Amino acid sequence: MDVRFDNQVVVVTGASTGIGAAVARAFGASGAKVVVHYNSSSAEAQQVAGDIDQSGGKALLVQADVTDSTQASVIIDQTLAYFGRIDVLVNNAGGLIKRSPVAEVADDVYDYIMQLNMTSLFQMCRQVIPVMERQGHGNIINVTSIAARTGGGGGSVVYATSKAAVATFTRGLGRELAAQNIRVNAISPGVILTPFHDRYTEPERMKALVSTIPMGRAGTSEECVGTVLFLASHTMSSYVTGQVIEVNGGMYTP
């Protein structure tokens, strides 16, 4: 079945690299109008937007720091001003920030991790829900992590906790918005080869992680795309909401 999103408006936060970039490109290639959000990676975001335009979609670049509580409205307002509606919101922006044992995590680092991974996502949802209610439909897809299931490892407990909050938020919001014809789901990537691990995971740790994956390798950003498109498609998943789908090569099987 050919999954198409012709003329649908899709907002992807953190769309300049990694999973976000792969998802944004895939929506564009499927005919969508894609809002490519980025914070500091301007050149990478411009490349993603260019690829979308060349593949038959239409891209809008939006810069915003999602850790600033006022910036969610910037993303939503610019999208509505340019495209007039929002059909799909993919909350992908997030990060580990730094690996530290809990006893060594400073207050400002804790606050930043929670703001980046959970609070910003809450702000985006709070801003987009009234838009989707007015439209009579909508679809929200969040990105959590296998760390939400395992508690994280090697100095990532606070990150894992923030991602567990995303998973719980997804389940609850899916139930809350079901009657309004707004579906809310999440993907939970495992070990995926992205700039995330380039930045935070040294080679020996990566080798140890891969050794625990039944498929014997790390995944790629592109291998997360199909699950996102499935969740975004009314044709494919109209009866799916409040779910967290694991994409991890068998590393964790709940």
Torsion, CA 166, CA 168, CA 170, CA 171, rounded to 10:
170
CA distances from 9 to 5, 118, 129, 238, 246 (A): 8, 23, 15, 18, 25
Q: Are 188 and 145 in contact (CB under 8 A)?
A: yes
CB contact set of 209 (below 8 Å; sequence gap of 6+): 191, 201, 218
Both structure tokens of 87: 């059909």
Active site residue 200: no
The residues, any chain, with a CB within 8 Å of residue 230's CB and separated by 6 or more, are 3, 236, 237
63 phi/psi in degrees, rounded to 5: -95, 135
d(CA 196, CA 219): 13
Task: State in Å, rounded, how far the first CA of the chain is from the last one.
Answer: 28
Q: Which of 38, 110, 159, 200 is labelled catalytic?
A: 159
By annotation, the residues acting in catalysis are 159
